[in-house]
């Protein structure tokens, strides 16, 4: 992923240095257990612990000839160990090391992502608490619907975030896997107890039944969980983009001193953060297809998945992390224009209250069809004449035969619509 959409903390996890460091951690853990069990000499295990190191430039030079990064890595580390280096990587196949190290990388990356999600949840709760009673227009199909509060609107996005966080946590459990079962998963060299002991040291769980690799449905589940997360961000970003439109103007992203919105139009304050989040979510979702394609490998394994994962796994985590941080920035600086929200409701002329106006007439004995017909007629008249629906209802003799002015006022105050808002919001606070 390009630096523009990366945060150094997450990028570092997916660096070549970190990848080889985790591979070395796996190799050293295996050697330690093998030494304890007498599979390799104890002095070999000790030498591996003390002398193991690697040089990326040397590994890259070796790979030019070997055309195999793991063999290059093993040769380079063994060189630093010395004579006992012959016991380094003893009984292992490349994927034993690669896949187990990848599990450690995923775990580390997930922990950083969860840290940022927790910060994001705090920002959500600040907005929700501050705007529990900030009334704004609810919209369906882009049109006025019923009143809602901005706090309740944001509460729905927080609830989605928590579901997506739970999906990520479940996917992480499914990817904390150790695999040391050899070339085709038969433990032909190392016994199961070696794998179990190494897994315990690394905080992982042995794979149930592996081929030469950990089955890729696990990684597909992780990429899918990440896609859910960033798609939730996109749903919010689209909402915030709509609310920033000039004709709506109910919120505004922060605009820093010296910032410019357009090279041609000095008045512009564009929703660039929300648009950025939308675009990155599109990219991240595309990795789901590639992750699913990686599940079906030939026989006990081919290498077609490798090149794909070297791209999509770092990119997916880096984009998810970057998007989370960008959304935190957006919410922490979000300006909520309460006056504009009230003005937009007033512009509706009371049309947002038509649903409960309908129910009031039904309660007074009209059939639903007749009540709907009457409310629709005065609603369309309100839009045509740009007059208040409330005023038109008050002046309609047929309607006022059925209801009192107080009952009508109660409907148009919006109290009936919002009486349960606090109870709903409390579900996420």
Using CB atoms within 10 A of its CB, is residue 231 exposed (0-12), middle (13-18) or buried (19+)?
middle
Catalytic one of 15, 68, 188, 262:
262
Q: Which residues contact 87 (CB under 8 A, 6 or more apart)?
A: 31, 34, 40, 41, 44, 45, 48
Candidates 62, 84, 78, 86; CA nearest to 24 is 78
Is 323 a known active-site residue?
no
Dihedral (C-alpha) 95, 321, 283, 220: value to the nearest 10 degrees?
A: 40
Dihedral (C-alpha) 208, 209, 215, 220: value to the nearest 10 degrees?
A: -30
- Residue 251 DSSP SS3: strand
Is 307 a known active-site residue?
no
Whether the CB-CB separation of 70 and 98 falls below 8 Å is answered with yes
Encode 173-182: b = buried (16+ Cβ within 10 Å), e = exposed. eebbbbbbbb
Q: Please give the Cα distance from 379 to 192 (Å, whole number).
A: 74
Task: Output the six-digit token pair for 144.
Answer: 């006025």
Enumerate the active-site residues: 141, 262
């Amino acid at each position: 992923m390009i630096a523009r959409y990366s945060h150094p903390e997450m990028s570092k996890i997916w660096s070549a240095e970190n990848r080889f460091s985790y591979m070395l951690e796996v190799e050293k853990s295996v050697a330690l257990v093998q030494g304890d069990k007498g599979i390799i000499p104890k002095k070999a295990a000790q030498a591996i612990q003390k002398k193991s190191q690697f040089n990326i430039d040397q590994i890259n030079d070796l790979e030019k000839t070997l055309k195999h990064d793991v063999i290059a890595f093993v040769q380079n580390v063994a060189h630093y160990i010395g004579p006992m280096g012959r016991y380094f990587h003893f009984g292992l196949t490349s994927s034993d090391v690669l896949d187990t190290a990848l599990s450690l990388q995923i775990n580390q990356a997930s922990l950083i992502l969860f840290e940022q999600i927790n910060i994001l949840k705090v920002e959500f709760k600040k907005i929700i608490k501050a705007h529990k009673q900030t009334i704004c227009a609810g919209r369906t199909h882009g049109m006025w619907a019923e009143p809602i509060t901005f706090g309740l609107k944001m509460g729905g996005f927080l609830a989605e975030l928590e579901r997506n966080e739970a999906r990520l946590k479940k996917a992480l459990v499914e990817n904390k896997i150790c695999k040391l079962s050899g070339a085709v998963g038969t433990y032909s060299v190392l016994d199961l107890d070696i794998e179990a002991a190494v897994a315990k040291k690394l905080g992982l769980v042995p794979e149930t039944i592996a081929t030469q690799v950990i089955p890729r449905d696990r990684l597909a589940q992780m990429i899918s969980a990440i896609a859910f997360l960033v798609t939730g961000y996109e749903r919010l970003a689209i909402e915030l983009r709509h609310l920033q439109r000039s004709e709506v103007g109910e919120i505004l992203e922060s605009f820093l001193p010296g910032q410019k919105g357009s090279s041609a139009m000095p008045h512009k304050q564009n929703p660039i953060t929300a648009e950025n989040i939308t675009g990155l979510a599109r990219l991240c979702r595309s990795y789901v297809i590639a992750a699913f394609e990686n599940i079906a490998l030939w026989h006990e394994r081919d290498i077609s998945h490798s090149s794909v994962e070297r791209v999509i796994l770092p990119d997916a985590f880096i984009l998810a992390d970057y998007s989370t941080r960008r959304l935190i920035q957006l919410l922490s600086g979000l300006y909520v224009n309460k006056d504009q929200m009230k003005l937009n409701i007033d512009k509706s002329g009371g049309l947002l209250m038509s649903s409960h106006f309908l129910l009031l007439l039904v309660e007074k004995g009209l059939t639903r069809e007749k009540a709907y017909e009457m409310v629709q007629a005065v609603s369309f008249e309100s839009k045509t004449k740009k007059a208040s629906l409330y005023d038109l209802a008050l002046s309609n003799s047929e309607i006022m035969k059925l209801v009192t002015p107080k009952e009508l006022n109660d409907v148009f105050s919006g109290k009936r619509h919002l009486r349960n808002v606090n109870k709903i919001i409390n579900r996420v606070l």
